[in-house]
Structure 1
Amino acid sequence: MRLFFSLLFCLGVCFSASAEQFSSFSSAKKYLIKTLPNDTKSLYCDCDIKREGKKLVPDPTRCGYLPRNAVTRSGKQNIRAHRIEWEHIVPAWEFGHQLQCWQEGGRKNCRKVSKKFRQMEADINNLAPAIGEINADRSNYRFGMVANNIKQYGACPVKVDFKQRVVEPPVYARKRIADTYFYMQKTYGLAISNKQQKLFEAWQKLEPAD
């Protein structure tokens, strides 16, 4: 496999940007869409990303991604399988639950009353381009290892255990994920469990796959 540079722009550009320059999640997404380098790949599947007007869409030609659900329960096309979304590597649910504002009204209340939450939600260091279906399936599940070898998304190697609420990212994405968790820990005081801490420390030592 070639050297994996899917999120190199985030490691170089995003970590040099100040979270304070973005007042909202929507403004952060607009900035990222506008500045996304042409060679950026999706986080979990290493898919090429194409522009269609103001939208970003995954190109499954080389990465081999296939939707887990091509259609929704209502029989309509699963549009999230055909668009790129901005995934919070540390979910808003996870860092939000550590703030009092979430206990008093959830995400909507935090956006209204907490400057810290707005900064965390809009911090582009915690955002990565992901196929919408996988972003939805990941939900707020924790990262970890999944026992079985199921293939849910064609050749895309990400695995989701819906029963255990665990997501196993491909090897090439693990260091990026670990770096982000520790960035959020250092910058905002994010609490990380001992089990997750040890897992991310191991992932942080990984080199990009060749």
Structure 2
Amino acid sequence: MATTKVFLFSPFRLTLLILLLAFSSFSSAVSNVSNDSFSKAKKMLEKEVYFDHRETIYCAASFDSKKRITAPAGFYTNKYEKRAKKVEWEHVVPAENFGRTFVEWREGNTSCVNSKGKTFKGRRCAEKINTEYRHMQADMFNLYPAIGAVNALRSNYNFTMLSGKQSDFGSCKMKIENRKAEPPEIARGQIARTYLYMEQTYPRYKMSNSQRKLMIAWSTQHPVSAWECTRARRIGELQKNRNLVVEELCAQIKQD
């Protein structure tokens, strides 16, 4: 008599499978085309997404409607001290990472000339000339509240693991060294799923193989939370597109 084999997936393997299935759905991933204003995106996030969850991504600091930060106990910084008192909206995938794929960023444009007749390039030129760039820059799925000083020191550095490095911010376990950053464990899942979303949604943005493997590992190790699901739903309603990476995992939580 033939026997039927039943394969049982551990939660880790099941999460990994869901991630890979969601990540493979490139044809279903629709980008942000509803808002090309970075300023408007920040206002919508503060007023319509984070109004009942005013907590920063890296350090879990609270902030109020006037952008004032209440740092967690034990947090400190000896740089950008004024910015440590305010919340800022951080591109988890740095704008430069996708910005350099635009010719206006790399080379400039004949229309990118200041009042003194001097040409310019980089983010300022890409933002002025290219609508696609502005849509990517304003994508709210890639924007998170952060303590201003942490945002400043993280700069445009890619995330990795920094062996033996001590925290740069006291009780907030954010580490920065040699133009690399290691985020606290509480932030790694959201960071990973944001990187995967950006690569899935915008064909011009690509991660290295090693970075993609790290992000998939972080996402499986640090599952989605109820807040992350709520955040994705709210942004989807405002921005008129979906984060399929997060949605697939949130759907699995509901089924369980």
* Fold equivalence (TM over 0.5): yes
Are residues 1:198 and 2:213 paired?
Answer: yes
Q: Offset of 1:21 from its aligned partner?
A: 2.5
- Write the distance in 1 (CA, Å) between the matches of 2:67 and 2:31: 24
- Residue 33 (str. 1) matches residue 42 (str. 2): no
Q: Name the larger-Rg structure.
A: 2
The separation in 1 between residues aligned to 2:197 and 2:43, in whole angstroms, is 22
Q: Bigger CA drift: 172-181 or 122-131?
A: 172-181
Whole-angstrom CA distance in 2 between matches of 1:203 and 1:136: 24
In structure 2, relative to structure 1, the CA distance for the partners of 1:38 and 1:196 (3 Å cut) is: same
Question: 2:67 — aligned with what?
Answer: 56
Higher normalized strand content (fraction of residues) = 1
Match of 1:167 among 171, 181, 186: 181
Tell whether 2:191 aligns with 1:188.
no
Give the structure-2-normalised TM-score.
0.66
The Cα of 1:124 is off from its aligned counterpart by 0.3
Structure 1 unmatched ranges of 5 or more: 1-16, 73-77
Aligned CA-pair RMSD: 2.0
Please say if 1:93 is aligned against 2:96: yes
Find out whether 1:119 has 2:135 as its counterpart.
yes
The equivalent position to 1:42 in structure 2, one of 39, 56, 59, is 56
Structure 2 residue ranges without an equivalent (≥5): 1-29, 108-120, 226-256
Percent of aligned pairs with the same residue?
A: 40
Q: 1:197 to 1:18 in 2, by over 3 A?
A: closer
Aligned residue identity for 1:172: I
- What SS does the corresponding residue of 1:87 show, helix, strand or coil? strand
In 1, Cα distance between the equivalents of 2:214 and 2:39?
31
Structure 1 segments of 4+ aligned residues over 6 angstroms from their partners:
none
How big is each residue's C-alpha offset from its partner over 1:175-200, in whole Å with a ceiling of 9 and x where there is no partner? Answer: 11111111111111211011101111
